[in-house]
């Protein structure tokens, strides 16, 4: 890998080149001088100054041209710098092809530009003046004898977006209609679907008349005559629902009966239709049964009528 060649190429391209350990190389322009006979044209020379901005531009330039990694290029550049300083300290000169050479004077690195070195900077682009543009536009434009190719119609994105918005609105409207006509009914049916039935046994017990509100609440408040520690199993009528219309109470009863739960409907008054289930349990288990039925049927006012 010829590091010296890449230093010269990078210097001519960017007018500067920083090499770690050697310094910052700059391509500068010398003013024209008169040698007593003729006026010499301006020339370029390369000077080296200590320090400079540390960057990886040169290593990246080498890696791109050599198709290697930047780290590998940086290592090669570092080895070149170490070897160059060693040779300079021994009094040798290190050549940069076609440009000049490194030398060391009084412990400082200097660069001597070749006498035959010539550098021509890139030209500055010019802008045509208005008169030239007018003359150019005044010239007749040659039209081809063959027909011009048909240009493809451009896509009207505004119409595409409008159609997409309309489709979204139609889809949202269709979903809204479906939701309010079918989805809500389905949700209501799911809410009214019977929960897993409790183990209820129909013993044929006939509930007392529930038309008298006072008697129902008296029976709820009446103390049990069976001892608390008794093992006797009693049959109770338990209120598991209260509905304002007979139709809703009947629908609830039918749903529970389809699931195997033994329930019945009784009218308390014109605005209260009760759903009752038959439960067999001991008196000391009534509180536990009441709590279980509240969770099972989702009715917080479960009451035992016996």
Tens of pLDDT, residue by residue over 134-185, are 666 666 665 655 556 555 556 788 889 999 999 999 888 888 787 777 765 5
pLDDT of 20? 84
CATH 3.30.70 spans which residues of the chain? 213-304
Whole-number Å distance between alpha carbons of 237 and 96:
111
Residues of the chain with pLDDT under 50: 195-228
Whole-number Å distance between alpha carbons of 304 and 306:
6
Read off the pTM: 0.39
Whether 28 and 11 have beta carbons less than 8 Å apart is answered as no
Count the alpha carbons within 13 Å of 78 in the hemisphere toward its beta carbon. 9
Whole-number Å distance between alpha carbons of 138 and 158:
39
pLDDT of 223? 41
Whether 257 and 263 have beta carbons less than 8 Å apart is answered as yes
pLDDT of 165? 92
Where is 141: in which H helix or E strand?
A: none
pLDDT of 202? 42
Tokens of 195: 């929960």
CATH architecture for segment(s) 213-304: 2-Layer Sandwich (3.30)
- Residue in the block written with tokens 């629902």: 241
DSSP SS3 for 113: strand
């Amino acid at each position: 890998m010829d590091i010296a060649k890449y230093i010269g190429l990078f210097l001519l391209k960017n007018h500067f080149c920083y090499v770690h350990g050697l310094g910052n190389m700059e391509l500068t322009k010398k003013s024209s001088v008169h040698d007593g006979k003729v006026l010499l044209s301006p020339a370029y020379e390369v000077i080296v100054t200590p320090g400079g901005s540390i960057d990886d531009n040169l290593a990246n330039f080498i890696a791109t041209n050599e198709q290697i990694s930047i780290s590998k290029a940086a290592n090669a550049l570092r080895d070149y710098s170490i070897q160059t300083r060693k040779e300079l300290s021994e009094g040798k000169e290190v050549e940069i092809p076609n440009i000049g050479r490194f030398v060391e004077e009084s412990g400082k690195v200097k660069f001597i530009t070749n006498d035959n070195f010539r550098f021509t900077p890139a030209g500055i682009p010019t802008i045509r003046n208005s008169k030239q543009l007018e003359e150019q536009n005044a010239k007749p434009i040659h039209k081809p004898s063959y027909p011009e190719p048909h240009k493809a119609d451009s896509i009207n994105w505004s119409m595409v977006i409008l159609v997409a918005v309309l489709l979204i609105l139609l889809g949202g409207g269709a979903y809204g209609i479906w939701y309010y006509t079918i989805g809500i009914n389905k949700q209501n049916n799911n809410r009214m679907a019977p929960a897993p039935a409790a183990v209820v046994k129909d013993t044929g017990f006939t509930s007392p008349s529930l038309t008298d509100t006072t008697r129902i609440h008296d029976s709820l408040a009446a103390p049990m005559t069976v001892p608390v520690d008794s093992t006797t199993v009693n049959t109770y009528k338990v209120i598991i629902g209260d509905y304002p219309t007979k139709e809703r109470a009947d629908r609830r009863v039918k749903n529970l009966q389809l699931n195997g739960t033994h329930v019945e409907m009784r009218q308390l008054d014109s605005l209260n239709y009760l759903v009752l289930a038959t439960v067999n349990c001991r008196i000391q288990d009534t509180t536990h049964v009441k709590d279980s039925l509240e969770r099972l049927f989702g009715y917080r006012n479960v009451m035992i009528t016996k």
